[in-house]
Amino acid sequence: MSTHTFEECRLIALKYAKKVDWQTSGLDTKYYSFSYRRGWLKELCSHMRRGESAYCVYCYEFEDETAYVGVTRNFARRYAWHRSCGVIKKSKCKIKKSTILETGVTAETAGERELYWFEELSKTHRMIQSAKHIGALGPNSTARYTVEECMKSAETFKRRVDWWRAKPSMYAYARYHGWLSKCCAHMKQRAWTVEDCVNAAKKYASTYQWRKSSDAKLYTYAFRHGTLELCKSNLSRGV
């Protein structure tokens, strides 16, 4: 009979939002059965919720020091999907570590917590996904907002980025349903100029630093409008 430690079983249990998901997982079912025989289930499943599944925030770290952060109700199922056709499958490097960063997250706070961990990981890793994709739970999310609620929330902000940072779940929901233009109609959209891009480029030593900075939008503007080469010549090292 196989023997497992309490800590091994605890780490496995953290992958799942519901007992039934762990019990029927296949690969990890032996840990469930062992925990059941030892009487550990109540403690190991304390983070799980009855009824509606809670979310967890997870991270994949790769050998090239890149990272991916996401939110899911079922860590094991999401990991299998990423291995078959998602970010793990598409990555040019092998995955080094997969980690559950936080459990027991509600649909209403999932976007905020994902954004928090995205920004934390950005300090030490090159993130695979863009920050603009953070906070979206998709059409099956239990978070539900009306267009009126989204518009009322957006009214308190002057810029889209401020709304996105404060209410990423609501922003993502509005974007998914095509309401952004209506919700952000009162926000002023600044028209960038070539001079703005050149001045931004002067702050950085390389285009990589520029792309990863708070001036990333100016980099994108320069790239799309064919002025990137001019801006490159104005980088602090001319690279």
- The per-residue pLDDT for range 97-154, each reduced to its tens digit, is 998 888 878 777 777 788 888 888 888 988 887 665 666 555 445 556 788 888 999 9
Residue 190 has pLDDT above 80, yes or no: no
Pair 229, 238: CB distance under 8 Å: no
DSSP string computed for 186-218: TS------HHHHHHHHTT-SSHHHHHTSTTHHH
Please give the pLDDT value at position 238. 44
Q: What is the mean pLDDT of residues 16-27?
A: 77
Query: How confident is residue 1, by pLDDT bands cut at 50, 70 and 90?
Result: low
Q: What is the mean pLDDT of residues 171-198?
A: 80
Portion of the chain with pLDDT greater than 90, in percent: 8
Please give the pLDDT value at position 25. 74
Residues 6+ apart with CB under 8 A from 122: 212
Query: How confident is residue 61, by pLDDT bands cut at 50, 70 and 90?
Result: very high
Rounded Cα distance, 166 and 222, in Å: 28
88: left (phi over 0), alpha (psi -120 to 50) or beta: alpha
- Tens of pLDDT, residues 205-237: 888 888 888 888 888 888 878 888 889 888 876
Residue 81 has pLDDT above 80, yes or no: yes
Indicate the average pLDDT of the chain: 82
Amino acid at 61: E
**Range scoring the smallest mean pLDDT among 49-58, 124-133, 164-173:** 49-58
Candidate ranges 41-50, 53-62, 63-72; pick with highest mean pLDDT: 63-72
Helix (H) or strand (E) holding 71: strand 66-72
Pair 142, 103: CB distance under 8 Å: no
Please give the pLDDT value at position 58. 92
Compute the C-alpha angle 4/72/50, nearest 5°: 70
Please give the pLDDT value at position 140. 47
